[in-house]
Amino acid sequence: MTRAISLKRVSKSYQRGIRAVEKVSLDIKPGEFLVLLGPSGCGKSTVLRMIAGLEEVTEGEVLLDGEYANDLDPSERNMAMVFQSFALYPTMTTRGNIGFPLRMESPGEDPSPRVDATARMLGIEDLLGRYPHQLSGGERQRVAMGRAIARHPSAFLMDEPLSNLDAKLRNHLRAEISRITREVGATTVYVTHDQAEAMSLGDRVAVLRGGILQQLDTPRMVYARPANVFVAAFIGTPRINLLRGVVRAPLDGAMSIGLGRQALRLPEPLCLDHQLLRVQQGREVIVGLRSEAVRLAPRSAARPAEVPISGLVEHVEYQGHEVLVHLNTGSQPAVVPELEAPRPQPTVRRRRDTRMTVLDRLRERAVSLRAGPVVVLDRDGDEYEPREERLPAPTGDLVVRTTPDIDLRQGMQVPLLVDLDHLFVFDRYGERISPAPDHAPDLGW
């Protein structure tokens, strides 16, 4: 049996008004593997514990197969939890540990057939007679998984089950968790702060920030269409390059995005994805360039969607199969505070700005309902005037991947091509404006 899990505007407050989770809504389909992803303290475990019934819901509803379940005891939910610290009973063998919940549930029944079948599935038949102190960390985690699986739960709830293990074992067990949960067919909610783990395991990924759901989508979509700059920066390695830019949209000329000393000229006629940028005329924005959006190549090699800039090599990082080149392009990097430090207090000055367009106001309202701004670049809505003194002392602002056969040295000026088909632009609140959000109107420019 597998089940659908829904959260309807679920919030959790602890004493003294700590709001750990804020109006989270999720619909998890039967048999789906959903990953809750976010930095430390963003409320992942709290959401999981509310689904398990281990934490009371302050507001909103938890529905199991469509039925109101806020008041159900954990034991009535038929879910199995696997934690980071896998507490096995030290005085019991593997057989005893896996069979224990079965004996509790049905005291008269012999648990052996189910224990044996579970051990076979996990490849731990040889370990059935051993005690926990005779097992390695990975083997112990497998026994803990076995204890969860043997019960035939309707859902698995896993809270960073692999984070105590070394990288190699983690990769191995990650693949195993994926295989087993699919084989069993049970709905799985898996918590992690490791984006690579989330991307490789999840049918869908729910990204949380400060207790608020930022985006719920397939791994492919959270990478290719991040809702905001926080999601864009949290997902993908190497981390997306984020540069502060300013939109220039003269009435009589081509639109461009100024990046300090250089600019990206947008091709005419403007594609649909660049149309919303015109509304940002004169405003600061954040330009996001993943490593696949920039390559080291001369202007003459440019494909139709590529525009040239250049950069000064600051540092060359050899990685064997590839090289990461840290460049200075004369722009200012944009910082997403939550990624450097958990749970910041957003300081937003709310001042009515008479120059804001209706679209801006709608956007501001939508953002404040959803999450609060991710970053605020231009707090007063002042027009940005690119002055030389606003530029910081030169630092590497762009990391580009290249092959190791190119001879690059510090101080070299190199030509770059930026692929505008892979360009992200976020507004001053951190919301994505290019590629245009799905709900964006066609402005017909």
Positions touching ligand ATP (CB under 6 A) are: 14, 18, 20, 38, 40-46, 193, 343
In sequence order, the β-bridge partners of residue 432 are 426
Helix (H) and strand (E) counts in the chain = 11, 22
Give the pairing type, strands 423-426 and 284-289. Answer: antiparallel
For the bound state, the minimum distance from the C-beta of residue 183 to Mg ion, rounded and expressed in Å, comes to 27
Looking at beta carbons only, is 44 or 370 nearer to ligand ATP?
44
Q: Is the peptide bond preceding residue 30 cis, with omega within 30 degrees of 0? A: no
97 Cβ contact list (under 8 Å, min separation 6)? 88, 89, 132, 143, 146, 147
Cβ atoms of 266 and 255 closer than 8 Å: yes
Give the interface segment with Mg ion, choosing from 16-24, 42-50, 144-152, 367-375 (CB under 5 A).
Answer: 42-50
Looking at beta carbons only, is 6 or 45 nearer to Mg ion?
45
76 Cβ contact list (under 8 Å, min separation 6)? 53
For the bound state, the minimum distance from the C-beta of residue 211 to ligand ATP, rounded and expressed in Å, comes to 7
Q: Tell me which of 6, 11, 45, 291 binds Mg ion, using CB under 5 A.
A: 45
- The count of C-alpha atoms lying within 13 angstroms of the C-alpha of 73, restricted to the half-sphere facing its C-beta, is 2
Looking at beta carbons only, is 38 or 202 nearer to ligand ATP?
38
Give the interface segment with Mg ion, choosing from 5-13, 40-48, 210-218, 436-444 (CB under 5 A).
Answer: 40-48
| Chosen from Mg ion, ligand ATP, none, partner binding at 138 (C-beta under 5 to 8 Å by type) | none
3-state secondary structure (DSSP) of residue 72: coil
| Chosen from ligand ATP, Mg ion, none, partner binding at 226 (C-beta under 5 to 8 Å by type) | none
> Which tokens hold the place of 390?
């606003």
Does 46 bind Mg ion (CB under 5 A)? Our answer is no
For the bound state, the minimum distance from the C-beta of residue 301 to ligand ATP, rounded and expressed in Å, comes to 44
1 Cβ contact list (under 8 Å, min separation 6)? 78, 152, 154
For the bound state, the minimum distance from the C-beta of residue 158 to ligand ATP, rounded and expressed in Å, comes to 12
Looking at beta carbons only, is 45 or 329 nearer to ligand ATP?
45
For the bound state, the minimum distance from the C-beta of residue 305 to ligand ATP, rounded and expressed in Å, comes to 39
Task: Round to whole Å and give the CA distance between 79 and 118.
Answer: 17
- The count of C-alpha atoms lying within 13 angstroms of the C-alpha of 70, restricted to the half-sphere facing its C-beta, is 12
| Chosen from Mg ion, ligand ATP, none, partner binding at 222 (C-beta under 5 to 8 Å by type) | none
For the bound state, the minimum distance from the C-beta of residue 158 to Mg ion, rounded and expressed in Å, comes to 11
Q: Name the site residues for Mg ion (rule: CB under 5 A).
A: 45
